[in-house]
Structure 1
Amino acid sequence: MLLTIFTFLVILTILVLIHELGHYLTARKFGIKIEEFGFGFPPRIWSKKKGETIYSINALPIGGFVKLYGEDEAGGGKIKPLAISHKPSADLDRAFFARPKYQRAIVVVAGVVMNFLLAVVIATYLLTFEGIPTPGQDIRVTEIVANTPAQISGLKKDDLIREINGTKITDSETLVSETRKNLGQEITIVVQREGSLKIINVTPRKEFPKDQGPMGIAISQNIEVAKYPFPKSLFYGFKQAGEDSARVVFAFKDMMVTLITKLTLPEGVAGPIGMAQLTGEFVQVGPNAVLALVYMLSLSLAVLNILPIPALDGGRLLFIMIEAVTGRKVSPKFEAYAHMIGIFLLLSFLAFISYKDILRIISGESILP
């Protein structure tokens, strides 16, 4: 238990610090004044001022933060109060809100970019030295239920499904999609059997038992270990991270649709408590499994933060884009309220997920399928 908690805190801290480092480095590059770079969250237990920046260690060892001068005045509404307080004009020029829109946008998205690059580095390492298990393109029939369209049509166990109605089948999602959009209609399936191709016509059922599916088959997808020499592995590291980022986006979309329409969460969705549980399960598998977990968490953090939701980096970017399109700064009061509402919604969502996590742990269920 202690090892699980410690490992999870270390992973979380690395992910957040990498994210904040992106904000820090780009802010420095553009000459924005950085008031504090903190490890952990307050209360502060140690600090040292170097130049104009305070570097601090705080009591709660979960991540970190960067405090930019003028960040809270992003809408520009505090320029006069700052001037009245006799801040040097050089400091005003170096305030976050006073910088050009493109600089503010780059600083805002830099954390997301850093999380994505961390995922690329991990993927590149695994592809170079360890190999990454990836789904192959063989969709194999592993079971056929008696008295179903699959059995009646002549499908057999160990058939490799290559095409449905001319569409190449290289993953289970495509097979399910092509089948379900032709319920009640005859489809033409090309299968590979004992080295030769055969054409089989099947009519998927419109109504079927929950545990069977339209055709009455069970399938599996082969797993291949992808491994490449460097720098080829770097290219495939970017490719893998990009594809997995897209999967995270679609998974988030499906989660929100399920939450809104059914007031529940899909299986496998987890918050911080669930992530801690998952960390413990991955620790038992080995270091490469933990690296793979860090990879997916880093991508998830990047995708979550770039969403156009107030209080997140994507929300701040949205307000900058609105300013760029309209030529007017968003009212600082409106932006502040929007971020407050965003924080409330995110915390409420987090509480709901955590409640589900606790119920799963109490019932002794694993988060893994």
Structure 2
Amino acid sequence: MLFTILMFLVVLGILVLVHELGHFSAAKSLGVRVDQFSIGFWPKLFGIKWGETEYMVSLIPWGGYVKIAGQEEPEGDEPEHYELCSRSKLQRLYVFVAGPFANLILAALLFPLIYMLGISVSAYIDQPARVGWVEKGSPAATAGIRSGDRIVEVMGTPTPTWEDALTEIGSRPQQHISIVVERDGQRRTVNLTVAEERRYGAGVIGVGMPIPPVIANVMHGRPAERAGLEAGDLVLSINGVKVSDWMQLRDAVRGSDGKPLVMQVKRGEKLLNLTVVPKFSEELNSFAIGIGAPPSPTKMMRYSFGESVYRGERKLLSTMGLTFEVLWRLVTGQASIKSLGGPIMIARVAGQYARAGATPLLQLIAFLSVQLFILNLLPIPVLDGGHVLFLGIEAATKRPVSMKFKETATRIGFAVLIGFMLLVSYNDILKLLR
């Protein structure tokens, strides 16, 4: 738990620091005074005054701010030369958008770096999306998708690889979608409703990449051990029915109703027929024999500098496109806000990614940097996009926006932002309790 909290603070601290440095550097480049630079929000924990700026760390870690002199245009006195309101509209726009664009630049640098360092991916991720298994009772099973089908299109978008297919499906939880599959050289369209994965809210349909039916481990005192099964055994058939993947093996055990299963296994060069009697597991709420699945095969992919830049910027653009698509679905009611995650989920993911290594953690930081770039430019008062909105109104009306209007709009924007944060945190808690 302590490690998870620490990684959450590290990830958030990097994102906020880069964002606020963008605003800070832009203001300084124009000769504008910056009074405060804070990581976190009120109240202040500690700080130091260096030059004309107070640098500090505040209690609430969800964000940060820079207090720029003359950020709001005075309604009476002439502005001082060191105040932002004395600069042109274009220069003020530059300061307001510098924070989000700093996050974008961070992501644009991190994605290529990740490909150069090397990423661990599923051995099948860049292979055609040929279905290895279909879970019983899943949306895919109900729609008639079978093992061996190749997913070639999701909602009109071609999916030549597993990565493409999982991205398109994962971004559409609880939505009705159409999928084109190829079977025996012929294409057919199936319609289904995407389910929502419990832990992170991603869309799933109950299909996966091939998993060989190899027993990874045998639990002590369970039916598999009593039957003589051993780790490393390759299951060839059950009751005379050929077994080609792990999910088929699992479904056969779960659907056995406790009746004996004759398993033909290959152990080295030997073929053995072993009889195992599944027992009902209260923990799994199904019949089980006490064996573990093999880990999904992975491979480490490293690329040259040029290829890393190409792949990194493609990843940046696809992440931006996916973010805009999700926002559009939320606005139009095509997606549920329940699928969104908040600080608790980010903390959990940060801890898991950090344990997996530096590269996964960098992937998370790059992904969240893109989210911050886009979300901060939304025209909501209290966000950077709100300042841009006020500038736009000022340019259109040829006169400054009144302080009273700005204050009222900012209070409303702040209330909306707090309400949103509470809602996504509530979603996180519900997912933890599932």
Relative to the length of structure 1, the TM-score reads: 0.73
Aligned-residue offset at 1:224: 8.5
Matching residue's letter, 1:246: G
Quick check: 1:136 aligned with 2:113? no
Counterpart of 2:317, as a letter, is G
Give 2:348's aligned residue: 277
Q: Secondary structure of the residue that 2:380 maps to in structure 1?
A: coil
Q: Is the 8 A contact 2:135 2:207 kept in 1?
A: no
2:313 equivalent to 1:238: yes
User: C-alpha offsets along residues 181-230 of structure 1, whole Å, 9 cap, x if unaligned?
Assistant: 88xxxx99655x6xxxx23566x479x9989xxxxx96547998764311
SS state at 1:309 partner: coil
Alignment pair present for 1:54 and 2:125: no
User: Matched residues in 2 for 1:325 and 1:24: separation?
Assistant: 27
Q: Quick one: distance in 1 between partners of 2:120 and 2:431?
A: 29
1:126 match = 114
- The whole-number CA distance in structure 2 between the counterparts of 1:8 and 1:324 is 40
Label 1:175 to 1:249 Cα distance change in 2 as closer, same or farther (>3 A).
closer
Query: Which residue does 1:112 correspond to in 2?
Result: 100
> How far apart are residue 248 of structure 1 and its match?
1.6
Matches within 5 A, 1:1-369: 1-41=1-41, 42-43=43-44, 45-50=46-51, 53-60=52-59, 62=61, 64-71=64-71, 73=72, 76-80=73-77, 83=78, 92-131=80-119, 133=121, 135-136=125-126, 138-143=128-133, 157-162=147-152, 168-170=158-160, 171-172=164-165, 191=183, 198-200=185-187, 204=190, 219-220=207-208, 227-258=302-333, 265-267=337-339, 269-361=340-432, 363=433, 365=434
Q: Is the 8 A contact 1:165 1:189 kept in 2?
A: no
Query: Residue 340 of structure 1 aligns to which amino acid in structure 2?
Result: R
Q: Distance in 2 between matches of 1:346 and 1:61?
A: 15
* Counterpart contact for 1:19–1:111, Cα < 8 Å: yes
User: d(CA) in 2 for partners of 1:144 and 1:4?
Assistant: 34
* 1:60 maps to amino acid: L
CA distance in 2, matches of 1:131, 1:239: 15
Larger radius of gyration: 2
Identity value in percent: 31
Which residue identity lines up with residue 364 of structure 2 in the other structure?
A: L
Instruction: Assess, with a 3 A threshold, how the Cα gap between structure 1 residues 167 and 102 changes in structure 2: closer, same or farther.
Output: closer
* Matched pairs, number: 326
Using the TM superposition, give the Cα deviation of residue 5 of structure 1 relative to its aligned residue in structure 2, in angstroms.
1.1
Contact 2:154 2:177 in 1 (8 A): no
1:19, 1:115 within 8 Å by CA — same for their partners in 2? yes
Q: Following TM superposition, by how much is the alpha carbon of 1:122 offset from its aligned partner in structure 2, in angstroms?
A: 1.7
Q: Is the 8 A contact 2:154 2:168 kept in 1?
A: no
Query: Which consecutive residues of structure 2, in runs of 5 or more, have no partner in the other structure?
Result: 197-204, 211-297
Q: Which residue of 2 aligns with 1:88?
A: none
Code of the residue aligned with 1:265 in structure 2: it is: I
The question of whether the paired residues in 2 share the 8 Å contact of 1:19 and 1:114 is answered with yes
Coordinate RMSD, CA, aligned: 4.1
- The C-alpha deviation readout for 1:269-302, integer Å capped at 9, x for no partner, is 2211222222223233333222222122222111
CA contact (8 A) 1:142 1:158 kept: yes
Question: 1 CA distance for matches of 2:153 and 2:304?
Answer: 33
1:321 CA displacement: 2.1
Q: 1:158 to 1:11 in 2, by over 3 A?
A: same
Deviation at 1:11, TM superposition (A): 1.4
Q: Tell me the secondary structure at the aligned position of residue 141 of structure 1.
A: coil
Q: Secondary structure at the match of 1:31?
A: coil
Q: Which amino acid aligns with 2:8?
A: F
Deviations 1:112-134 (A, max 9, x none): 11111111222111111213649
- CA, structure 1 residues 200+273, in 2 after alignment: closer, same or farther (shift >3 Å)? closer
* Structure number having the greater helix percentage: 1
Q: TM-score, normalised by structure 2?
A: 0.63
Task: Output the amino acid matched with 2:75.
Answer: K
